[in-house]
Chains A and B, each alone.
Chain A
């Protein structure tokens, strides 16, 4: 599983995950509340570009992020262009793009495992409400381990069906995948118990 994280040593990389989340959430909220003023929106674009420079990932990374967002932005513009004036549509599209880009700064500059650690720490005070932060962290790690295993099941089912030359009915793939996956869950549970995780 390739994380969206980009290694680096920038100020944003060095910032602890918790405070970084707070700062970015504040920025995103501020952007989404801005009025549809062309000058302000231009300033937002410059500020986002500045953030990407600060994160050391460069403007190219911001471009890649925008490219990934192309369908989202297209759907937003198409759904609005019949209802709203062009300036408003442009403002809304810019706001959506900018907010997403700013939020992704967290992902780009924080390792996945650091974010999971931060989350575990944030959940610790909830122990009294029955939230077991240890167990949450365990489930997150186990899921990362399990995704390639289940993807392997899907590949095997695809190959088997191709080998038999059957025209694959829509459900022919999903049901065996679920059966294999849930059997795997039972084996995994045995292993968890055997390894003393209960």
Chain B
């Protein structure tokens, strides 16, 4: 059953000036996967290899049975990506148009797209904003819109790269609650917020491009905090 499995075998990612991932091997089946580590540790690179935004220089990646390097289009249908800054993610000028954008290559009839968009906006409490210009939304609403636009594509995996970084406490709770508790999809959550990581089923820790620790979130986070406190 390769349906909800993420597999990395000896994956390295090298850029012109530095190596971002070194020899990462891991097999993940849990629903909620937290990824922690200091800045520049390789977390974001790891996230971006999952939908082929970054291609591995070495090694094999399988995401729900798909090789992101060989089938980038398929993997992007399967993997929804949430960026930390919703401004960079929203493409169309109004809320409903942006959600509909996610369905544009599916060959669906106009009426069905409209119905599905309306239903999704209702789900996310954005129905009143359907025809509003996106720049009039609050940051929390923008991130909700980004999430709504990703989930309407019915991905099997949602990768969220610090999705609460730009949000206040109340909006962070809202977005995190949705990702961690309400959503049925598999989740890879890159975060600096260790309380969110603690609510996942497994935590991965990256340091210097290596997968340096993994397992039950509690102990992984405890060791991470210990290392952080040392000079």
Please give the number of chain A residues whose Cβ is less than 8 angstroms from any Cβ of chain B in the complex: 20
Contact of A188 with B by CB under 8 A: yes
Please state if A187 and B92 are interface contacts (CB–CB under 8 Å). no
User: B127-149: which have CB < 8 Å to A?
Assistant: 133-135, 149
Contact of B76 with A by CB under 8 A: yes
User: Which of B20-28, B79-87, B169-177, B195-203 lies on the face that meets chain A?
Assistant: B79-87
Please state if B93 and A195 are interface contacts (CB–CB under 8 Å). no
Complex: how many Å from CA A144 to CA B89?
14
Complex: how many Å from CA A141 to CA B91?
8
Contact of B76 among A1, A149, A152, A193 (CB under 8 A): A193
Contact of B118 with A by CB under 8 A: no
User: Which of B31-39, B97-105, B180-188, B217-225 lies on the face that meets chain A?
Assistant: B97-105
Complex: how many Å from CA A149 to CA B98?
16
What residues on B are CB-neighbors of A138 within 8 Å? 91
In the complex formed, the residue of B with least CB distance to A190 is: B53
What residues on B are CB-neighbors of A141 within 8 Å? 91-93, 97
Contact of B77 with A by CB under 8 A: yes
Contact of B90 with A by CB under 8 A: yes
Please state if B135 and A196 are interface contacts (CB–CB under 8 Å). no
What residues on B are CB-neighbors of A188 within 8 Å? 88, 91
In the complex formed, the residue of B with least CB distance to A112 is: B93
Complex: how many Å from CA A145 to CA B91?
6
Contact of B91 among A148, A152, A184, A195 (CB under 8 A): A195
Complex: how many Å from CA A192 to CA B101?
11
- A117–chain B nearest beta-carbon distance, Å: 12
Contact of A184 among B73, B88, B101, B133 (CB under 8 A): B88
What residues on B are CB-neighbors of A191 within 8 Å? 81, 83, 88-89, 91
- B135–chain A nearest beta-carbon distance, Å: 4
Please state if B91 and A142 are interface contacts (CB–CB under 8 Å). yes
Please state if A192 and B87 are interface contacts (CB–CB under 8 Å). no
What residues on B are CB-neighbors of A142 within 8 Å? 91-92
Please state if B51 and A194 are interface contacts (CB–CB under 8 Å). yes
What residues on B are CB-neighbors of A192 within 8 Å? 91
- Which residue, A188, A194, A197, has most C-beta atoms of chain B within 10 A? A194
What residues on B are CB-neighbors of A148 within 8 Å? 133, 135
Complex: how many Å from CA A50 to CA B92?
38
Complex: how many Å from CA A116 to CA B53?
30
Complex: how many Å from CA A197 to CA B149?
13
Please state if A149 and B92 are interface contacts (CB–CB under 8 Å). no
Please state if A190 and B93 are interface contacts (CB–CB under 8 Å). no
In the complex formed, the residue of B with least CB distance to A1 is: B133
**B39-58 interface bits toward A, Cβ cutoff 8 Å, 1 = contact, 0 = none:** 00000000010010100000
What residues on A are CB-neighbors of B150 within 8 Å? 195
What residues on A are CB-neighbors of B98 within 8 Å? 145
Complex: how many Å from CA A185 to CA B173?
29
| Known contacts A141-B91, A187-B88; is-contact A196 B76 (Cβ 8 Å) | yes
Q: List 16 A-B contacts (CB under 8 A).
A: A1-B133, A145-B91, A145-B92, A145-B98, A152-B135, A184-B88, A188-B91, A191-B89, A194-B76, A194-B81, A195-B89, A195-B101, A195-B150, A196-B73, A196-B77, A197-B101
The 9 A-B pairs with the shortest beta carbon distances in the complex, nearest first, are A148-B135, A187-B88, A194-B81, A144-B93, A191-B89, A145-B93, A196-B76, A149-B87, A141-B92
